[in-house]
Amino acid sequence: MNFNTWFTDLQTRTAQNRGAGLVAFKELLARLSNPQQNYKIIHVAGTNGKGTVCTLLARALSLAGEKTGLFISPHLISPTERIQLNGAEITPDDFIQTVEKVLAHVQKPLNFFEILTASAFVYFAEKNAQYVVLETGLGGRKDPTNVCMPVVSVITSVGLDHTHLLGDNLEKIAFEKAGIIKPGVPVLCGFLPPEALRVVQETARAKNAPLEIVCAENSPGNAQEQNKQLVCRAGKLLEIPDEILKHSSEKVSVPGRFEIFPCGEKTIILDGAHNPPAMENLLTFWQTAPFAQKRAAVLCAFMQDKDYTKMISMLSAHFKTGIVTAVSSPRAATERQLHAILPTGWGFVSDVEIALSQAKQRSDVVLCTGSFYLVGAVRKKILKKA
């Protein structure tokens, strides 16, 4: 069985499991000798910006000479992207072996993300990591990553996303994100709406956790600058030299976050803005980019559990030419769901490769957005041809 077949089977076997829950998950980790206690952890939660902050901070720690693990999601092309050590992805063989070690200690059914989290903890311990930058999967309070005791906690942003699971207003979502705050552990956060900030402040105060608001004012469309500020402040708390922090933020491109690919005479831009707050930031930034002045088309796909109606409306204000497609995921929004809300001049093409080809025929610049699944699929095709 090759790696991709094995991984698909793993997803299939765990898709229906509700998960062990935090109590049982902690018991599992105890049977694995609590690997998460073998290194210093920076724990990162937030509606958007988590992946960028985690990637940049892990890069800075590595450049500073620290053996650093990085756990992020989702992956764009290969599942091995989720578990990295000093910038190198876990090998497929190590991935399989580590997961099998975890499964050998399982007594209650784990869900997919619990398996990956436990496997990352084990892998980093076996590789003698000194630091691990850990991205939450969903929310924070009940997330399996929340078994850790970090040295720094970071909340990048709070916006309306996963409302069916985290709550239907900003206060409820902030409560879930603030669940990563631990007694006495410093907390950094980016710009938060007032109602979300109050919840974070109250949680930090109750846990006697020093709280620092790194980005006091909102700068829509400049989310990357806010992310860099969070990385720099976290880096200072971790005593990373200023020149390394500057270098790591300037030189690192984060895959799928306004990533630009020249393709002959065409330009393809990938950005996984997958919810309305992220889309708002993308489009505000887009208006300042040179590409906005050119004849541009948008290629997009969406998940059923996202507010795709709002995101299509936002995109249609900037793009007269749009193609919506469907990605390979059971959560993907279908043509039947999307067809009735497509703006004039937009169309639906079910095959991603054909959709990309048509978008390139219609425009010199193509923005691919709306889903990391789409960004990953297009990125894979671009790199394969390179």
Chain segment 173-189, per-residue pLDDT in tens: 999 999 999 999 999 99
Residue 196, pLDDT score: 93
Do residue 277 and residue 206 come from a single domain?
no
Write down the pLDDT at residue 385. 73
Which of 223, 251, 279 is the last residue before a domain boundary? 251
**pLDDT tens digits, one per residue of 280-323:** 989 988 988 887 777 899 999 999 989 999 999 999 999 999 99
Question: What residues in the chain have per-residue pLDDT under 70?
Answer: 1, 15-17, 161, 163, 165, 216-221, 251-252, 386
pLDDT recorded at residue 117: 97
Tell me which residue range forms the domain holding 312. 259-385
CA 228, CA 248: separation in Å to the nearest integer? 10
- Between β-strands 131-135 and 40-45, what pairing exists: parallel, antiparallel or unpaired? parallel
Per-residue confidence (pLDDT) for residue 257, from 0 to 100: 87
- For residues 78 and 113, state if they share a domain: yes
**Residue 249: predicted pLDDT:** 73
Same-domain status, 268 and 319: yes
For residues 242 and 286, membership in a common domain is answered with no
CATH number of the structural domain spanning residue 372: 3.90.190.20
Predicted confidence at residue 25, as pLDDT, reads 95
- Among residues 203, 234, 251, the one where a domain terminates is 251
Report the pLDDT value the prediction gives residue 367, as an integer from 0 to 100.
96
Query: Do residue 243 and residue 311 come from a single domain?
Result: no
- Tell me what pLDDT residue 281 has: 87
Q: Residue 254: what pLDDT?
A: 81
